[in-house]
Amino acid sequence: MENENINKEFNKLSVEQKKVGIYTPPHLRNKQAAPTSQPPPMPSAFSKDKQSRNRSSGWGSAPSQQPPRQNTKKNLKSPSDEFYNRDDVQAPDPRLEARLFGSQHNSGINFKSYDNIPVEVSGVEPPKPIENFDDSDMDALAKHNIRLAGYSTPTPVQKHAVGIVTAGRDLMACAQTGSGKTAAFLIPILSQNFKDGRGEESIPDRRGTIKPVTLILAPTRELALQIYEEAKKFSYRSWVRPCTVYGGTPIGDQLRDLERGCGLLVATPGRLVDLLERGRVSLSNVRYLVLDEADRMLDMGFEPQIRRIVEKEDMPITRQTLMFSATFPRNMQMLARDFLLDYVFISVGRVGSTSENIVQEVVYVEEEDKKSSLLDILHTDAEIAAKSANPTENLTLVFVETKRAADMLCNYLIDQAFPATSIHGDRTQQEREWALKSFRSGKTPVLVATAVASRGLDIPNVTHVINYDLPNDIDDYVHRIGRTGRAGNLGKSTAFFNMHHDKSIVKELYEILSEAKQTIPDWLENCKNQVENQSAFRGGRGRGRARGGRFGATDFRRESKTHHHSGAHQTGYSGNHYGQSNNTWNHSSSNGSSWF
């Protein structure tokens, strides 16, 4: 409904567009042409260097062909509006504001405990983190929207990302699930967009090609949609118009939306390649590229598409590139090596660790007993929900391995009078979105899901995640249980384990549980020992994660002496630890190794 209303509003605007041939936002209409604008300034000395290396390519060199637009709605702003004198800021729209920011849920009681999580920063001359949003160098409109979103304190990954992005640096960030990574890239990028000022690239050129300034790639349609919804919040009242494109929905609707202008595009790789091939999107003006959950995109087989998008299209090398995930497997490190320049690596807590806000339980359940065990748990959850002030605030997410199992289990639960729905890759996009909406609203407080729902989805009130089937990959386990215990809220996870099905993951599961200081049942320790003994007997080395050392030791540049990167040469390297709660800037190591 919310989407529908917003779309209706945009549709009204498109009628206007047809009249004048090219879309002009309402606040920019009836304004006389001003002299051609200069290209927006690069954010820092670092970026200037990049610009001079690539003078012929990219956004910095192209003269603007159309006059900059100015805000004619200024007069509609009240003189008390802090943006009264800013032509680039639109007048407030109370209805839109209520839609975008009205349903803020409070972040958890443990939110401030994030300050106690150790942060490791490595790379050449890493920029300092911000202390709080208000005192940072961010654009005033960005700060305004942050306040509207109800964010009073930045999370650790946000503190660092704002400093790093504002300084014009590339970033590889690993931070626990639910720790605010989405805003960590959206806020500083949009703030830079606002400071740079409107570019003509956000409206289609004469051939109808749209050239977004910011491109965000995400692995799943649902995650793309969620990032897009967040982008709408943080770009409120600005000239930046976010759009999203993903598979499973008619491309015509998405094209019509793009035609209305697009400064920030959130895309899944397959659909974006389609649009590039049709010539409807060009990447020649991309200044900010984000790969969210890049490891998942690789797991899903998107590497050829991602490499094509980043390396083989016309994306300028002058861009800033950011990669985010809660886990950092080797194939993602390789992508970081190829796509990022002189980047800063930050890890918040242990890379790939689980949030300490989640109580993790593992129970031994044979395959044939899983259904009845699940019913027991769901009955208990339903009782807890019935006692709470708002019963819809207790949602349970059940993960299974296959699409067929998702359907079967969902039907079984419905037969047992549990209001359940399911989400998996064989359902239509409409059905998937309906299922998520129904789950979010509490109409069906049980959602049976495959891995499609394991990454990035931010659904408030998920109090319990059940791994009915454990995944084969421990990183998937970390992401799945991360659907609860978000933004400092407390959550619970239960995993069904049996030696028949889950032997391959037992060592890593044991590591994860002990790292997070969870209660480990004796039987699990015995199973782990048994697997280790069998593996030693066979002379194997097991599947340990080899994460190495304490937190943050997985910036692969520390271990490698020589790496090659097209167009980059780096000679210095340093690592910095941010102390536990005082956030002091302790320079802990500087080995000066040459790694490119």
Ligand X SMILES: Nc1ncnc2c1ncn2[C@@H]1O[C@H](COP(=O)(O)OP(=O)(O)OP(=O)(O)O)[C@@H](O)[C@H]1O
Q: Would you say 234 or 339 has its CB closer to ligand X?
A: 234
Binding-site string for ligand X from residue 81 to residue 120, where x marks contact by CB under 6 A and - marks none: --------------------------x-------------
188 binds ligand X (CB under 6 A): no
* Residue 243, SS3 per DSSP: strand
Query: Is 179 an interacting residue with respect to ligand X (CB under 6 A)?
Result: yes
With CB under 6 A as the rule, give the number of residues binding ligand X. Answer: 20
Question: Which pairs count as long-range contacts for 429-437, CB under 8 Å and 24+ apart, including other chains?
Answer: 429/221, 429/246, 429/247, 429/248, 429/249, 430/249, 432/221, 432/222, 432/248, 433/222, 433/225, 436/222
> Among residues 24, 47, 136, 177, which is the contact residue for ligand X, using CB under 6 A?
177
Q: Residues 43, 163, 456, 552: which binds ligand X (CB under 6 A)?
A: 456
Question: Is residue 182 within the footprint of ligand X (CB under 6 A)?
Answer: yes
Residue 492 or 507 with smaller CB distance to ligand X? 492
Sheet strands side by side (includes 320-325) = 242-245, 264-267, 214-217, 288-292, 320-325, 171-175, 344-348, 119-122, 575-578, 585-589
Whose Cβ is closer to ligand X: residue 179's or residue 444's? Answer: 179
Regarding 154 and contact with ligand X (CB under 6 A), the answer is yes
For residue 336, what is the enclosing H or E element? helix 330-339
Helix ranges (DSSP H) in 403-542: 403-415, 429-441, 474-481, 499-502, 506-515, 522-537
C-alpha neighbours within 13 Å on the C-beta side of residue 516: 24
Instruction: Return the range that interacts with ligand X (CB under 6 A); candidates 23-31, 148-156, 265-273, 307-315.
Output: 148-156
Query: Which of 181, 221, 287, 547 is the binder for ligand X (CB under 6 A)?
Result: 181
Q: Is 151 in the site for ligand X (CB under 6 A)?
A: yes
Residues 6+ apart with CB under 8 A from 3: none
Q: Which stretch binds ligand X (CB under 6 A): 181-189, 192-200, 263-271, 418-426?
A: 181-189
**Which CB atom, from 181 or from 350, has the smaller least distance to ligand X?**
181
Nearest alpha-carbon partner for 183 in 215, 127, 227, 219: 227
Q: Are 107 and 489 in contact (CB under 8 A)?
A: yes
Instruction: Tell whether residue 261 is a contact of ligand X (CB under 6 A).
Output: no
Residue 421 touching ligand X (CB under 6 A): no
Footprint (CB under 6 A) of ligand X, residues 467-496: 482, 486-487
**Closer residue to ligand X (CB): 257 or 475:** 475
Nearer of residues 177 and 192 to ligand X, judged by Cβ: 177
CB 233 within 8 A of CB 149: yes
Closest of 237, 200, 191 to residue 89, by C-alpha: 237
- Give me the least distance between CB of 181 and ligand X, in Å please: 3
Is the Cβ of residue 186 or residue 435 nearer to ligand X in the bound state? 186
- State which of residues 155, 202, 354, 484 lies at the interface with ligand X (CB under 6 A): 155
Decide if 570 contacts 595 (C-beta within 8 A). yes
Q: How far is the CB of 9 from ligand X (least distance, A)?
A: 23
Length of the chain: 596
**Token digits of residue 363:** 């129970």
105/128 with CB nearer ligand X: 105
Per CB under 6 A, does 355 bind ligand X? Answer: no
Span near ligand X by CB under 6 A; candidates 121-129, 173-181, 492-500, 521-529: 173-181
For residue 322, what are the β-bridge partners?
171, 290
Q: Could you give phi then psi for residue 594, rounded to 5 degrees?
A: -90, 120
- Residue linked to tokens 């839109």: 96
Number of Cβ within a 10 Å radius of residue 425: 12
Beta carbon nearer to ligand X, 118 or 197? 118
| 552 interacts with ligand X by CB under 6 A | no
| Contact predicate 507/532, CB 8 Å | yes
Q: Which of 178, 188, 491, 575 binds ligand X (CB under 6 A)?
A: 178
**Is the separation of the CB atoms in 326 and 456 below 8 Å?**
no
Residue 393, Cβ density class (10 Å: 0-12 exposed, 13-18 middle, ≥19 buried): middle
According to the binding rule CB under 6 A, does residue 183 interact with ligand X? yes
Please report where in the chains the tokens 């603007």 appear, as a residue.
Answer: 64
**Residue 90 vs 182, nearer CB to ligand X:** 182
With binding defined as CB under 6 A, does residue 180 bind ligand X? yes
Identity of the residue, 69 or 440, whose beta carbon is nearer to ligand X in the bound complex: 440
Task: Work out which of 120, 257, 458, 555 binds ligand X, going by CB under 6 A.
Answer: 458
Q: What is the nearest approach in angstroms of ligand X to the Cβ of residue 326?
A: 4
Segment interacting with ligand X, rule: CB under 6 A, options 177-185, 191-199, 499-507, 564-572: 177-185
Piece of the chain touching ligand X by CB under 6 A; list 176-184, 201-209, 282-290, 576-584: 176-184
Q: State the residues that interact with ligand X by CB under 6 A.
A: 107, 151, 153-155, 158, 175, 177-183, 326, 456, 458, 482, 486-487
